[in-house]
């Protein structure tokens, strides 16, 4: 006779294997050791509040919200955890730090380092660390160190670390993380640059860190000393807004007036397929445009009547003198699922803004679309702009981020 518990365990095992096969097929997992870790760790034990099918879906499980309903802690989507573990290249015997706890990712890391390695996970929220400790023990990963602290200072008592994986969205890389990284170590961190978040795999190169890989990624924002909020300028209630990650001067009333004016459309001739990612274009625009920001809109028909950006969450936009332009696209061949990039503009200088944005879309298509990815580096302290004329410099609190294109 099969017990209910045994049947549930068998069902969880089967769902876990299906998830791994899905991650392999999508290319999120390529390394056999990462696949083995995902096959071994029972994800449902770290998300007991949802059904088994949801625990093994390739999606985020939200576990805590703030008073406004915003997610502040979650079990990240498996595809993203897999991508970051692939970026980290963890091997047996390593000493690793995870910044931002949930338990599940730390268990995956523990599988990768094996009994000869050590994993420490840290979080600023006692509810989160209590939960992580409880679930890690239940799942058989009691050897993972769980620390309650503001991770801006790292976890010096278990340093140095061969690998640091950050599972919260951050705006800067604090000095403690550099100090606690071994000489040949690697940091994997979802860093926000001009509003865009990318998971960077960083290694030391002289006195700075350089990316050896970067992937599009989004996480709940870090809390504590490292928190750094974007500025949101609303243009039509809560339906349309511009997000700024720097200190640009903004004439809010002029932009609101511009939104009410008829829009200008300019099309680029640059086409793409329905499944082709265009995060490289977004990063190029963030690199090449000075008055760069991001346009967001609510997922309502009323908001779409006002603006129709390439992505409702965050689309590159160019600020002008009393107006703005933003990236859009439209379908040109339904059978082939082919689309064309264009720009919509509002305001007295809409023509100039749309032309400028379309020009940069064409530059990306001609010079960077099929070439090497951008080179992203992080330098301690400020850098003189005159010494880096072909590079976008992004000043941060502790560092300067540089983005250049081969």
**Enzyme catalytic residues:** 76
End-to-end CA distance of the chain: 64
Residue with tokens 């790292």: 154
Cβ–Cβ < 8 Å for 345, 325? yes
The structure tokens listed for 346 are 């509002």
CB-based burial of residue 401 (10 Å sphere; 0-12 exposed, 13-18 middle, 19+ buried)? buried
Q: Of 280, 229, 258, whose CA–CA distance to 344 is shortest? A: 258
Q: How far is CA 55 from CA 27, 41, 46, 123, 154, in A?
A: 21, 12, 8, 22, 30
The SS3 of residue 395 is: strand
DSSP 389: T
Backbone angles phi, psi at 47, to 5 degrees: -140, 60
CA angle 31–33–36, rounded 5-degree value: 115
- CB burial of 148-186 (b: ≥16 within 10 Å; e: otherwise) equals eeebbbbbeebbebbbbbbbbbbbbbbebbbebbeeebb
Torsion of CA 53, 58, 59, 64, to 10 degrees: 60
E strands, 274-321, in order: 292-297, 315-319
**Of 200, 282, 284, 296, nearest in space to 241 by CA:** 296
Burial level of 36, CB count in 10 A (0-12/13-18/19+)?
Answer: middle
**Residue in 361, 294, 368, 289 with CA at minimum distance from that of residue 329:** 361
């Amino acid at each position: 006779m099969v017990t209910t518990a045994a049947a549930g365990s068998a069902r969880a095992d089967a769902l876990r294997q299906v998830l791994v096969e899905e991650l392999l097929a999508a290319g999120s997992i390529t390394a056999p050791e990462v696949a083995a870790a995902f096959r071994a760790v029972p994800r449902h034990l770290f998300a007991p509040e949802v059904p088994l099918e949801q625990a093994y879906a390739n999606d985020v499980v939200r576990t805590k919200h703030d008073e406004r309903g915003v997610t502040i802690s979650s079990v990240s989507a498996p595809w993203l955890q897999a991508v970051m573990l692939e970026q980290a290249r963890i091997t047996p015997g390593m000493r690793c730090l995870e910044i931002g706890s949930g338990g599940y990712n730390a268990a995956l890391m523990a599988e990768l380092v094996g009994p000869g390695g050590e994993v420490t996970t840290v979080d600023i929220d006692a509810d989160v660390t209590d939960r992580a400790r409880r679930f890690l023990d239940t799942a058989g990963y009691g050897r993972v160190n769980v620390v309650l602290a503001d991770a801006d200072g790292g976890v010096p008592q278990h340093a140095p670390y061969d690998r640091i994986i950050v599972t919260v969205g951050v705006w800067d890389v604090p000095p403690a993380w550099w100090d606690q990284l071994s000489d040949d170590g690697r940091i994997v961190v979802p860093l926000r640059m001009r509003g865009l978040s990318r998971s960077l795999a960083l290694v030391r190169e002289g006195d700075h860190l350089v990316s050896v890989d970067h992937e599009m990624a989004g996480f709940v924002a870090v809390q504590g000393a490292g928190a750094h909020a974007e500025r949101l300028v609303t243009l039509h209630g809560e339906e349309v807004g511009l997000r700024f990650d720097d200190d640009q001067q903004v004439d809010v009333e002029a932009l609101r007036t511009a939104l009410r004016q008829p829009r200008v459309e300019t099309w680029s001739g640059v086409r793409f397929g329905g499944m082709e990612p265009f995060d490289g274009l977004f990063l190029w625009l963030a690199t090449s445009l000075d008055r760069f920001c991001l346009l967001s809109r609510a997922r309502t028909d009323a908001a779409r009547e006002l603006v129709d950006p390439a992505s409702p969450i965050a689309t590159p936009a160019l600020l002008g003198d009393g107006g703005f332009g933003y990236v859009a696209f439209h379908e040109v061949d339904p059978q082939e699922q082919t689309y064309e990039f264009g720009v919509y503009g509002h305001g007295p200088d809409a023509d100039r803004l749309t032309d400028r944005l379309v020009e940069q879309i064409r530059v990306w298509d001609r010079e960077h679309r099929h070439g090497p990815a951008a080179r992203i580096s992080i330098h301690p302290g400020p850098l003189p702009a005159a010494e880096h004329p072909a590079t976008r410099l992004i000043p941060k609190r502790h560092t300067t981020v540089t983005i250049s294109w081969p």
